[in-house]
Amino acid sequence: MAAPLTPQFGGARRRLIEELRGKGISDLAVLRALDLTPRHQFVPSGVRHRAYEDAPLPIGSGQTISQPFVHALYLQTLRLQGTEKVLEIGTGSGYQTALLAQLCRHVYSVERIRPLLETARDAITECGVTNVSLLCGDGTYGWPEFAPYDAILVGAGAPEIPQPLVEQLAVGGRLLVPIGGRDDQRLVEIARTADGTEQREISDVRFVPLVGRHGWEAT
């Protein structure tokens, strides 16, 4: 990745990585992706000075960029090998998209809010990422044209597991989705097997609602 790693953020980024190590992120590929990806390019200028805090930040349109630990937890849980085709639901800022692009073969990412998608597209392009395809639409339907996927990540909280996403998983693939109320959820992993699916809970999380036909209604 030809990322513009602005020198004044180098120390802050390294401190963040050490903080994530202390919180249990040990996957070296994930830590390297975090080190090479300029989070400050994916947040509005007004909060850029906070880009390397382990905290969520507003990105406009009522949405947030998740705290880096949550991104790292998602990626460490998936244990990507670099050959996978991955679907991301909720492009948001594009930061997780750029991280994924370093860890898999190709990322397909869906965002329902067009201004966010366009801003994310610009940031991703500026980072030199080329193995990403973006779509504006209802992410709860997935992106069936390119299914099945080896991994699916949902970056918003759903009231229940969106069935179209389960159906777009390859056998052996895994879906990560926050399930619960509009404000608090549990991160759930669904693994697709030859006989059906297996499910386990990972941790408490807090995401904005997943809005769409197979999620929450817009308010």
- Amino acid letter, residue 52: Y
Output the pLDDT for position 7.
63
Output the pLDDT for position 99.
98
Output the pLDDT for position 161.
96
Q: Give the integer Cα–Cα distance in Å for 185 and 207.
A: 7
Cβ within 8 Å of residue 67, ≥6 positions away:
54, 55, 56
Model confidence, pTM: 0.93
Output the pLDDT for position 6.
58
Output the pLDDT for position 2.
44
Point out the catalytic residue in the list 66, 93, 109, 203.
66
Residue 61 falls in the annotated catalytic set? no
Output the pLDDT for position 144.
98
> Can you tell me which residue has the tokens 């080329």?
130
> Can you tell me which residue has the tokens 């992993």?
189
Does the domain spanning 7-50+57-205 belong to CATH 3.40.50.800?
no
Output the pLDDT for position 219.
78
Per-10-residue mean pLDDT of the chain, 219 residues long, equals: 60 94 97 95 94 96 93 95 97 97 98 97 95 98 98 96 97 97 94 94 93 92
Cβ within 8 Å of residue 91, ≥6 positions away:
97, 109, 110, 111, 116, 117, 120, 134
Integer-rounded Cα radius of gyration of the chain:
16
